[in-house]
């Protein structure tokens, strides 16, 4: 029998509520006035806590970027863990679910995504953090390779990083574009289709005329 984590005590629950309030207030302000345009004092005031209380939970404003990225990582891992339990689905279905989950994270939080993505890039996180999305993609590819759906000479991590890089490049353009946008999930599905099918056009074999 699997035993879950022990429930938090009253003190821990109170601390978690304060941290969540600070974090939520920060994201709200970032979406409204940008990351650079938001100060720690404004976040503390919005969360109705003292400035010193902020530093009890986040040492720097940049730590909110890390918390944001970590929350998205956890959401993606939980989503794909549930998906991978459906063993009858093929690699294409699992990859589509992963792309759909990523699209949903961003499309439902468009303003927050735009602000936090700029801060994430400015802080150097794409280079400093582990490519967690690449690992998620690679896990799907490896499972497909074991089932015989993916060529045995394919490196799952290389494909995972290609998918991650494609996703991030598209996300940067999508989040900053001022033009009417194609829904992100449609663009990500097209990226996936191109990767799975390739871009070369092979001539069809000639048919004989009897």
Would you kindly state where each structural domain of the chain is located, as residue ranges?
Answer: 11-59, 61-197
Residue recorded with tokens 């969360």: 47
Under 8 Å between Cβ of 73 and 65: no
Query: pLDDT band at residue 208, thresholds of 50, 70 and 90?
Result: low
What's the predicted TM-score (pTM) here?
A: 0.81
Give backbone dihedrals phi and psi of 37, rounded to 5 degrees, phi first: -85, 0
| pLDDT number for residue 207 | 61
Residues 26-81 pLDDT 10s: 999 999 999 999 999 999 999 999 999 999 999 999 999 999 999 999 999 888 88
Q: How far apart are CA 119 and CA 112, in angstroms?
A: 11
For domain 61-197, which CATH number applies: 1.20.140.10, 1.10.357.10, 3.40.190.150, 2.60.40.420? 1.10.357.10
pLDDT value, residue 30? 94
CATH of domain 11-59: 1.10.10.60
């Amino acid at each position: 029998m699997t035993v879950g984590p022990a429930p938090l005590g009253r003190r821990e629950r109170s601390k978690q509520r304060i941290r969540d309030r600070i974090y939520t207030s920060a994201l709200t302000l970032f979406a409204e006035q940008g990351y650079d345009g938001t100060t720690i004092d404004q976040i503390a005031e919005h969360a109705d806590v003292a400035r010193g209380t902020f530093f009890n939970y986040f040492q720097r404003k940049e730590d909110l970027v890390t918390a944001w990225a970590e929350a998205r990582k956890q959401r993606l891992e939980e989503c794909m863990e549930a998906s991978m339990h459906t063993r009858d689905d093929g690699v294409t279905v699992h990859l589509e679910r992963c792309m759909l989950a990523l699209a949903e994270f961003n499309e439902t939080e468009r303003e927050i995504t735009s602000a936090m993505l700029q801060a994430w890039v400015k802080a150097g996180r794409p280079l400093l953090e582990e490519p967690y999305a690449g690992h998620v993609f690679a896990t799907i590819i490896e499972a497909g390779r074991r089932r015989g759906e993916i060529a045995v000479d394919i490196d799952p991590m290389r494909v995972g990083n290609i998918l991650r890089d494609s996703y991030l490049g598209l996300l940067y353009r999508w989040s900053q574009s001022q033009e009417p946008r194609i829904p992100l999930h449609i663009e990500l599905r097209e990226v996936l289709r191109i990767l799975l099918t390739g871009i070369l056009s092979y001539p069809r074999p000639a048919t004989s005329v009897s």
